[in-house]
Structure 1
């Protein structure tokens, strides 16, 4: 299978690496020529344009920072629409707006090709090892056709339904992660102010009902001081803004979401849009004159699980545990 990949940033570069590492013929494209050259040095081919990738590849993947960037790549001059046709698949892996994804997918399908939205969740460190989770929105027939490369990109692959469903669920999960991040920041600053040993506080939260994926990952790089999870405040603001819009479009009177949006708007005003997202804790560090740091924590997260073949996660609406569900589908 020939794969084209457009967008080699923090997440896209790691996902494209999984494609290349697993023996697929890979053609890459990015606005940053240095990123392209790094892949060419590893055996990928340099692409000339989105149109050329769509003509030459069985599947062309986009992983871009915004809905506007995706639209430009798909329907702009020399875009994917000018090259794609029957027998080809467009796979959109960005976190984006569900309505916009569906609009672009309809244009691709009108060309006789197939479309799938497949955003990822689980952190950049898992994207690097192919152990990340993938939500896939598309027809069942397209899903089954795409599964061979989706299970290389990720370990757990969930078919969420029609196009648009995966984008909504991805935005929901990013909203929940943001709420976790802000609450972890508040908890750690409060522990510091109360004179707690932060290493012990981290462990207490980790082994308790208060733990979360965000605490166990971002909590560590916060305490290290690097605050580096390869994600920035402007991207958080985009994601939680999309979640707020979904709620407003469906007349849900949220209370926490508007507050989170204001918190990150303030963080961007103080520290800049490209500030690392865990540094939202700096708002409280500045307000209290406290430094929330502890020895023994890593500067970045590394996936210590070996790369494994991916599989489809089949929802089980019974009383089985999550472990049982995954075992049944593995």
Structure 2
């Protein structure tokens, strides 16, 4: 794979070198890409100092050294500033660049950025990811892609390195919409699975054994198959994804519901519980802690 990637001649830049962005940068670096990284945090840069990849102190330097730029940033406002700001990517793009935004972001912001980039040397793709830091470091993420198929074909060498599974779900903006719907379902499933496990305990049943039965039937979900055995039943609660991040994603999902004008009473109730849990479950806690919220009440 490394030989093929070198033959592609692509240089990769990563903006945002936290747990996810740092993992993606390392995956690209291991695969033979010439990787340039940028993060305003000295601690984030220091964490990758021994990797051998180039670390720069400006967006301008990163853009000049990159054919593919990966964004891993916390909010849509920051993405817009990094891309469209006075000292942002667009201001410094002098050659064709593919810009891949892996953040979980507001689809309306994503479309707005794509419109602003029209006619520029930058081709924009939204590709939010699942799998957490472990998958980012191992190059085994799941990515939901919104963008032109021809652009995605050019991006394939980098996607091959970073993902274990990827799905194109539509044009630019569709990736972020699909991710919000995925996280909305995850939020609903966590609340529902938490109730099922409380019912099991109240009935004097062994939740672990009951969970095996659920996972053999039609009631199973990613939450019952992965979250419960990995982070909940063992009280680990260390998935690497916080309540603060999930609450942000669910606020964005609420906006998507409103814009769609769709009836979603079950989602509305789950979103209410996530909002109200802020008084009992800290932003810094693992997002799986929502399963114990009603018990705390």
Same fold (TM over 0.5): yes
Identify which range, 206-215 or 54-63, moves more after superposition: 206-215
Shift of 1:33: 1.8
Identify which range, 237-246 or 163-172, moves more after superposition: 237-246
Shift of 1:18: 1.6
Secondary structure in 1 matching 2:70: strand
* Superposed CA offset, 1:291-315 (max 9, x none): xxxxxxxxxxxxxxxxxxxxxxxxx
Secondary structure in 2 matching 1:110: coil
1:233–1:267 CA contact under 8 A, matched in 2: no
Q: Name the CA distance, whole Å, in 2 between partners of 1:74 and 1:247.
A: 27
User: Unaligned stretches of 5+ in structure 1?
Assistant: 288-330
* 1:145 equivalent in alignment to 2:154: yes
2:281–2:293 CA contact under 8 A, matched in 1: no
Pick the structure with more helix per residue. 2
Equivalent position to 1:112, from 108, 121, 129: 121
Equivalent position to 1:264, from 267, 274, 278: 274
- Given the superposition, is the C-alpha separation of residues 128 and 194 from structure 1 closer, same or farther in structure 2, using an over 3 Å criterion? farther
Structure 2 partner of 1:68: 77
Q: Name the CA distance, whole Å, in 2 between partners of 1:268 and 1:256.
A: 20
* Superposed CA offset, 1:126-150 (max 9, x none): 3332222212211122111111111
Structure 1 partner of 2:68: 59
TM-score, with length taken from structure 1 = 0.81
Equivalent position to 2:14, from 1, 5, 15: 5
1:246-265 matches, within 5 Å, as 246-265=256-275
Q: Name the CA distance, whole Å, in 2 between partners of 1:145 and 1:138.
A: 12
Structure 2 partner of 1:172: 181
Shift of 1:278: 0.6
- Given the superposition, is the C-alpha separation of residues 244 and 227 from structure 1 closer, same or farther in structure 2, using an over 3 Å criterion? same
2:90–2:122 CA contact under 8 A, matched in 1: no
Equivalent position to 2:235, from 216, 225, 237: 225
User: Unaligned stretches of 5+ in structure 2?
Assistant: 1-9
Structure 1 partner of 2:291: 281
1:49–1:79 CA contact under 8 A, matched in 2: no
Shift of 1:30: 2.1
Equivalent position to 2:247, from 234, 237, 248: 237
1:108–1:114 CA contact under 8 A, matched in 2: yes
* Superposed CA offset, 1:19-68 (max 9, x none): 12212111112233222122221111112122321122111111111111
TM-score, with length taken from structure 2 = 0.90
2:14–2:37 CA contact under 8 A, matched in 1: yes
Q: How many residues align?
A: 287
